[in-house]
Amino acid sequence: MNYIELLGRAVADIRIAVSFSTILPAGPAKPVNDGEVARASWALPVAGLVVGLAGAIIYAIAHRVGLPAEAAAVLALVVTIFVTGALHEDGLADTLDGLGGGRSREQKLEIMRDSRIGTYGACALIVSITLRWTALATIAEPAAVAAALLIAHAAARATLPVFMWLIPPARPDGLSAGAGQPLPQSAIIALGVGFLCLAIGFGPGKAITGLILLSVVALVWGFIATRQIGGQTGDILGALEQAGEIVVLLMAAALV
């Protein structure tokens, strides 16, 4: 495969990742076949950069017109949630409802399929949004907020292909099973892109700390998911993205 073909494949993968992760009309003209999402999973951090950029632009505009950091942070979060179609927030809520409200494995999976939100899910969303909003409002300065959003959305999604590679789907159908299992090289590239973003934003030393924190979150989450439902689902992946996003934003706020 020559360089032009490699570039074409990379662009196609990025379009698949952006289309898979957001509501933006970035998908390829041809329908995505089985396994293509898994192959393109290395580009999920790139899709995260797109989401983070949308939030950063809105924050900068809000700051420019004189809104306080607290209000600008709310608007930035609203935009990132809108751009993703609340995909990860929905996964977080469904996961906490299922794991918290179900007794058996089957009941947990059934609750996670239910589109209605319960008490556990509502509480999880309140905590997630509050922590992210507080972190952004604490950072306040537009350039620093932009960096934090870009890094958080990219790094949080960098853990997903590794998670999908290591932990099998909990059921044969659903979003995660349909996406397929990423190849090791896709997972490694995604992790490398995420670490690069952390290193650019925080420096190499802090980037290692961030990677360790994200790895611990993923390991703990993987243990819980495997023990309770026998593997991962699309909702589990959404909840993992939310946890990673929170970790990186809190880390950015602590470094202000």
What pTM was estimated for this model as a whole? 0.93
Please report the pLDDT score of residue 213 as a whole number: 97
State pLDDT tens for residues 155-181.
999 999 999 999 999 987 767 767 778
Please report the pLDDT score of residue 30 as a whole number: 53
Instruction: Name residues of the chain where pLDDT drops below 70.
Output: 1, 28-34, 174, 177
* 100: Cα separation from own chain's centroid: 22
Q: C-alpha distances in angstroms, 57 versus 72, 75, 228?
A: 10, 10, 40
**Mean pLDDT, the chain, whole residue set:** 92
